[in-house]
Amino acid sequence: MEREISTSSKLATPANSGHHCTETSNKPVDLEKCQNGSVETGNETTVSDANIVTWDSPDDPENPLDWPTWLRWTLISLVSAMTFMAGLSSSMFAPSVPSLLVEFNSTNTTIGSLVVTIFVLGLATGPLFFAPLSELYGRTYVQHVGCVGFLVFTVGCALSTSLNMLIGMRLLQGTFAAVPLTNGGGIIADMVRQEERGFAMGVFTTGTLIGPIVGPIAGALLSSVKSWRWIFYVIAMALGIMTCLCGLLWRESYAPVLLARKAARLRKETGNQDLRTRYDQGLSSRDYFLRGIVRPIKMLIFSPILAALCLHMGLAYAYFYILFTTFTDIFTEIYHWEFKIIGLSFIGVGCGFFFGQLLFTKLSDSILKRLANKGDGEMMPEYRLPLGCIGGIFVPLGLFWYGWSVEAQVHWIVPILGTAVIGLGNAMIFISIQAYTIDAWTLFAASGLAANTVVRSVMAALIPLAAPKLYAALGLGWGNSLLAFLALAMVPVPVLLFFYGERMRGWNSVRMSTL
């Protein structure tokens, strides 16, 4: 990545007046955050390059950070709506698994769980391709491809004629549904300043967290009236509308792509073929893509912080899908609920998610600013973690509560309240880790979120497959207690990173700077 920033008033006036990124032996320069302004090495500022093209002024209307509020929130709302559809698709089908197995003459409960969780495995596959593509060609093309692919394979699910075909369609459906999950964090990094990202992340993750809760409730009612195929038809109708809106309203927001277009335009207008952006490393598109395709894996390998947080979120996310794939059997067999109301068993988790999201949206930005004021004024990514630390305690507490209340077969409201506690903790973990990832790897936020999505999706797709045998061997009480003990083991992760994360981010600064 180029470090020279031009001081030319025409081509490269710094967009953040007075902002400098200094490199010392103890604190390496954060290139992702040095999107504007001079770059200093030691006590000497790098000589400016008059051929570097950047924003024209601190409030350049072409800079996505300075776009009108209505435009920025239109794009955030669109990508949030698509994440809602992804979340809806992941779980809306879950209550219909028994009727699906009857239709295809199968008694394999593992296959039944796989039909639900294979979608999440698709969410793990998509980001490996779409994240580097969004950092090479921009957000717009990737967003459109994701919308169309998501729609096409949703229709394919509805038209499936065998279990194998449905599993394949669900995998591809999840692969393209990963686009808004990966793109969303990226456009928030593109358009929203750090001190406002907590609120934006709260809005963005609404779909990711609430969609899987609304899905089973609506799916149970719809499949009891129609059939499981109509679940996919309804999702396809909504996706058709979303795809049209994205086609009409979407606008490119990735700064390197926008500046590259500007540089190309200026080269044509001025005839100066030396004009370039600070992101231009002289590589071919193929080399950029090959570098981008391995970037999420490199980030996992060379950043112990990201790896630890991915495992933490992955475990919590997997518990989420364990509940999804077992609620139907538990509440029909133990509490004798009718199938058409089985979706109501997800209300507890949904309420927990809602309050967790509300707390983060309300408190995260204020906590960030308060901690920055107590320190040296710098808003560190670690200041996003306190709410995640608290959420980590709620998850095992809720698992103990839920597991033993179901084991004792007490009134159904008691385990539902336990799942609300799980949802509360899960939401606080989920949003705080995503916000931290965006703040820590701003320019490569899409790749950071892709790495996170891959790990958590693989865990969420595979771990729930063991749930039926786990509960059969240990019972619901001790089975959920084992899950709670594993969750307790992850509690120290955000706590340690809050205190030592800044130091750890510098451990592999040389390797990470080659991303």
Written as one string, the DSSP assignment of 152-184 is HHHHHHHT--SHHHHHHHHHHHHHHHHHHHHHH
Take residue 289 and report the two structure tokens written for it: 């893509």
Q: How does DSSP assign 469-485, residue by residue?
A: HHHHHHHHHHHHHHHHH
Q: How large is the angle between the packed helices 413-440 and 347-374, nearest 10 degrees?
A: 40
User: What's the CA gap between 186 and 178, in Å, rounded?
Assistant: 13
User: What's the CA gap between 171 and 234, in Å, rounded?
Assistant: 19
Do strands 20-23 and 38-41 pair parallel, antiparallel, or not at all (unpaired)? parallel
User: Could you tell me the CA-to-CA distances from 242 to 173, 176, 282, 485 in Å, in that order?
Assistant: 16, 14, 37, 41
Take residue 326 and report the two structure tokens written for it: 């077992």
User: What's the CA gap between 66 and 60, in Å, rounded?
Assistant: 7
User: Could you tell me the CA-to-CA distances from 212 to 95, 197, 324, 325, 347 in Å, in that order?
Assistant: 12, 23, 9, 12, 11
Cβ proximity of 192 and 79 under 8 Å: no
User: Could you tell me the CA-to-CA distances from 181 to 83, 254, 371 in Å, in that order?
Assistant: 6, 16, 29
470-496 residue pLDDT tens: 998 999 999 999 999 999 999 999 999
User: What's the CA gap between 440 and 502, in Å, rounded?
Assistant: 10
- Each domain of the chain, given as residue ranges in start order, spans 20-60+254-280, 64-249+286-509
User: What's the CA gap between 184 and 164, in Å, rounded?
Assistant: 31
CATH topology of domain 64-249+286-509: Growth Hormone; Chain: A; (1.20.1250)
Amino acid letter, 311 = L
Widest distance between CA atoms in the chain:
79
Number of neighbouring beta carbons within 10 Å of residue 410: 11
Residue 46 is given by DSSP the state P
Q: Which residues of 112-150 are buried (b: 16+ CB within 10 A; e: fewer)?
A: bbbbbbbbbbbbbbbbbbbbbbbbbbbbbebbeebbbbb
Instruction: Using DSSP, state whether 41 is helix, strand or coil.
Output: strand
Angle (CA) 474-317-139 rounded to 5° is 160
Residue 421 is predicted with a pLDDT of 95
Residue recorded with tokens 């949904």:
350
Residue 284 is predicted with a pLDDT of 66
Q: How large is the angle between the packed helices 413-440 and 492-505, nearest 10 degrees?
A: 0
Residue 398 is predicted with a pLDDT of 94
Instruction: State pTM to two decimals.
Output: 0.72
Contact residues for 492 (Cβ-Cβ < 8 A; gap 6+): none
Residue 28 is given by DSSP the state -
Residue 237 is predicted with a pLDDT of 95
Would the CA dihedral through 344, 354, 450, 86 be positive or negative? positive
Cβ proximity of 69 and 26 under 8 Å: no
User: What's the CA gap between 131 and 128, in Å, rounded?
Assistant: 6
Distance of CA 10 to the CA centre of its chain: 38
Amino acid letter, 259 = L
Low-confidence ranges of the chain (pLDDT < 70): 1-49, 282-285, 340, 506-515
